[in-house]
Amino acid sequence: MKKILVLHTGGTISMHADQAGNVRPDTDNPMNHIGVSLDNIEVTAIDFFNIPSPHITPKHMLQLYQEIKQKAADFDGVVITHGTDTLEETAYFLDTMEIPNIPIVITGAMRSSNELGSDGVYNYLSALRVASHDDAIGKGVLVVMNDEIHAAKYVTKTHTTNVSTFQTPIHGPLGIIMKHDIVFFKMADTRVRFDLTDISGTVPIVKAYAGMGGDGIISFLNPDNVCGVVIEALGAGNVPPRAAQEIVHLIEQDVPVVLVSRCFNGIAEPVYAYEGGGVQLAQAGVMFVKELNAQKARLKLLIALNAGLKGQALKDYIEG
């Protein structure tokens, strides 16, 4: 018998649609009324939060980590139900913590419990199956949606409403859920992990655009109001010249600046040597992140700063 801890946090999977079609939170989580008709699985469910996922903060993520760490010894796996808007961020955060070596699976729904074609119950049962599967051990935090298993590091929400919204660009899913079996194609990457007891600080994301600089958000940033900045740059990792000047000024004030591309696929790297190009930015001290989107790069920098990383150690971790 596999003992699975379920932590409900809210989101569409726990909501209902009213007569006008507006999706609203509910005090009674419908997932608590699902009969778990899966062999050899015993569920202990806790309504840990009941909030829409846009309300989730890194402090909520840290609370989830502490709860999992505290209770892990009594369970064989963990399932977290979560709203989809920030699901990938919570998954990535947990995957960067010193989680126990048991399956940890996050799932959600794109359609609320009483909408036509609701996917919540199916995703929930699928997540329980994966969390109880021996092959899920050692693969880090997994995101299970729509019969697919994704690595927390790479998965992202790609569609506003489609049930197949969660995809992994470049890599594809780690595995799939079949009617009678679960198959993993790949192993998850080795992760550097931290054991934080607190998290604080402000790391904004600034998206690059044509003509950026001079009167944009970067010019208002300084060490008094941010502890780091993520730039979602153009193409392979470039910004307009005036924006580059402002970025250099930030670095001169000891504000760490991390760069990703705003492109959906590919990896940012210092290629172009013109003013504002990636080569100039890297020489100025901008750190290029491999294969993370902006929202995960933000968490990576925030976690690193809270872990006390500075200088070369910070650069090695961010760019590793």
User: Could you read off the pLDDT of 217-236 as tens digits, one per residue?
Assistant: 899 999 999 999 999 999 99
Are 8 and 33 in contact by the 8 Å Cβ rule? The answer is: no
pLDDT of residue 134: 96
**Mean pLDDT (whole number) for 2-18:** 92
Are 184 and 133 in contact by the 8 Å Cβ rule? The answer is: no
pLDDT of residue 275: 97
pLDDT band at 214 (very low <50, low <70, confident <90, very high): confident
Are 258 and 229 in contact by the 8 Å Cβ rule? The answer is: yes
pLDDT band at 97 (very low <50, low <70, confident <90, very high): very high
**Chain centre to alpha carbon of residue 112:** 21
pLDDT band at 114 (very low <50, low <70, confident <90, very high): confident
Considering the segment(s) 205-319 as one domain, its CATH architecture is: 3-Layer(aba) Sandwich (3.40)
- Whether the per-residue pLDDT at 16 is higher than 90: the answer is no
pLDDT band at 76 (very low <50, low <70, confident <90, very high): very high
Give the separation between CA 170 and CA 148, rounded to whole angstroms.
15
- Fold match between domain 2-184 and domain 205-319: yes
6 versus 114: which is more confidently predicted?
6
pLDDT of residue 26: 75
**Mean pLDDT (whole number) for 155-183:** 96
Name the phi and psi angles at 216, rounded to 5: -90, -175
Q: Give the global pTM.
A: 0.95
Q: Which of 9, 81, 84, 90 is catalytic?
A: 84
Are 77 and 2 in contact by the 8 Å Cβ rule? The answer is: yes
* 158 catalytic residue (yes or no): no
* 84 catalytic residue (yes or no): yes
- Whether the per-residue pLDDT at 33 is higher than 80: the answer is no
**Mean pLDDT (whole number) for 143-168:** 97
pLDDT of residue 135: 97
Rounded to 10 degrees, what is the CA torsion of 211, 217, 222, 228? -90
**Chain centre to alpha carbon of residue 1:** 30
**Mean pLDDT (whole number) for 170-176:** 95
Sequence letter at residue 227: C
pLDDT of residue 23: 84
Are 191 and 95 in contact by the 8 Å Cβ rule? The answer is: yes
- Residue 288's alpha-carbon distances to 31, 259, 310, 317, in angstroms, are 41, 5, 16, 11
Indicate the DSSP class of residue 32. Answer: G
- Please state the three-class secondary structure of 183-235 as a single string: EECCCCCCCCCECCCCCCCCCCEEECCCCCCCCCHHHHCCCCCCCCEEEEEEC
**Mean pLDDT (whole number) for 44-61:** 97
* Assigned CATH class of 2-184: alpha beta
Token pair of 185 as six digits: 């194609």
Cα–Cα nearest to 165, from 266, 57, 83: 83
Q: Which of 12, 86, 90, 107 is catalytic?
A: 12
**Chain centre to alpha carbon of residue 116:** 28
Binding residues: 53, 84-85
What ranges do the domains of the chain cover? 2-184, 205-319
Mean pLDDT of the chain: 95
**Mean pLDDT (whole number) for 163-182:** 95
pLDDT band at 152 (very low <50, low <70, confident <90, very high): very high
- Please state the three-class secondary structure of 103-165 as a single string: CEEEECCCCCCCCCCCCHHHHHHHHHHHHCCHHHCCCCEEEEECCEEEECCCCEECCCCCCCC
- Count of CB atoms situated within 10 Å of the CB of 265: 7
Tell me the Cα Rg of the chain: 20
pLDDT of residue 189: 84
pLDDT of residue 39: 81
| Count of CA atoms in the C-beta half-sphere (13 A) of 113 | 18
pLDDT of residue 175: 97
- Whether the per-residue pLDDT at 37 is higher than 80: the answer is no
- Whether the per-residue pLDDT at 160 is higher than 90: the answer is yes
Are 276 and 239 in contact by the 8 Å Cβ rule? The answer is: yes
215 versus 5: which is more confidently predicted?
5
- Whether the per-residue pLDDT at 112 is higher than 80: the answer is yes
Range 66-69, long-range pairs (CB < 8 A, 24+ positions): 66/197, 67/7, 68/5, 68/7, 68/94, 68/99, 68/100, 68/104, 69/97, 69/98, 69/99, 69/100
Give the containing element (helix H, strand E) for 47: strand 41-47
List of residues 6+ apart from 166 with CB closer than 8 A? 84, 87, 88, 143, 145, 146, 148, 150, 155, 156, 157, 158
